[in-house]
Structure 1
Amino acid sequence: MKKKILIVDDDPRNIFALKLTLKSEGFEVISASMADEAIRMMIQNTDIKVVLMDMMMPEIDGYQAMDIISQNPDIAKIPVIAVTAQAMTGDREKCLDAGAKDYITKPINVELLLKAIQNIA
């Protein structure tokens, strides 16, 4: 059975590249371009094993989305990996403090991403 991964990113190019990579590694991949859409998908798809959450999105950013997710007992246990172009001092800790299980910076190192997924999913 393929592990299902939800990619949440407002940039379709990032979704396309990640989908291509993850599908080639044998994962089932679904995606959302907005956090509210992603939360609905998490509720509807109880077999999601991990969420790759872009932290910088319009309307609801990744931090707010993780807060909403943590408050919903139906989806709070689904691990989230923060994916961000932000790589400033303290950003990793901020993401982990917000509820992310891991933190990956853009441009994404595929080897590190696959290792992170393997460690938490």
Structure 2
Amino acid sequence: MAKKVLIVDDDNRNIFALTAVLKSKGYQCLSTTGGEDAIALLRKDKDVAVVLMDMMMPGMDGYQAIARINGSPELKDIPVIAVTAQAMVGDRERCIDAGAVGYVSKPINVEELTKLLTQYF
């Protein structure tokens, strides 16, 4: 089975960069630019194994999207890794408390992200 990752980020440059890196490591990538779209996509595509969620997005932000995913019986088992430019004291805890299984700050350390992803495949 393909290692399928959903990248959720409102900045297409981030999606492009992450997709390139992950594809080179053998991951199959899907992407969307918002929380609502991410949830709709997860409901349609049952093969997504991990979500990389940008936390700061207009409309439904990552915190709200994670709450919706974790609150849904059909989606709650999909691990969500928070990806954020916020790297202040307490941000990691805030993301984990919101229901993320991991946290990666931007600019993304590819080794750190890959190590996190291998836990879920």
The verdict on a shared fold, with TM-score over 0.5 as the criterion, is yes
Matched residue type, 1:90 = G
* 1:49 aligned partner, one-letter code: A
Tell me if 1:61 matches 2:61.
yes
- Cα distance in 1, alignment partners of residues 22 and 75 from structure 2: 22
**Alpha-carbon displacement from aligned partner over 1:64-97 (angstroms, at most 9, x marks no partner):** 0011111111111100000000001100000001
Cα distance, 1:16 vs structure 2: 0.1
TM-score of the aligned structures, taking structure 2 as reference length:
0.98
Q: Is the 8 A contact 1:7 1:29 kept in 2?
A: yes
CA displacement, residues 85-112 of structure 1 (integer Å, 9 cap, x when unaligned)? 0001100000001000000000000000
Aligned partners of 2:2 and 2:119: how far apart in 1? 16
* One-letter code aligned to 1:24: S
| Aligned pairs for 1:87-98 within 5 A | 87-98=87-98
| Cα distance per residue 1:28-63 (max 9 Å; x no partner) | 100000110000001111111100000000000000
CA distance in 1 between partners of 2:72 and 2:44 (Å): 13
Take 1:67 and 1:61, find their aligned partners in 2: how far apart are those partners?
10
Q: TM-score, normalised by structure 1?
A: 0.98
Instruction: Look up the SS of the partner of 1:6 in the other structure.
Output: strand
CA apart distance, 1:113 = 0.3
RMSD: 0.7
> In 2, are the aligned partners of 1:101 and 1:120 still within 8 Å (CA)?
no
Q: Is structure 2 residue 8 aligned with structure 1 residue 3?
A: no
**Unmatched runs of 5 consecutive residues or more in structure 1:** none
- The percent identity for this pair of structures is 56
For this pair of structures, how many residues does the alignment match?
121
Structure 2 unmatched runs, 5+: none
C-alpha displacement of 1:120: 3.0
Matches for 1:35-114 after TM superposition, within 5 Å: 35-114=35-114
Name the SS of the counterpart of 2:52 in structure 1: strand
Asked if 1:30 is matched to 2:30, the reply is yes
What CA deviation, in whole Å up to 9, does each residue of 1:3-34 have, x standing for no partner?
10000000000000000000111111000001
Preserved CA contact (<8 Å) 1:53 1:82? yes
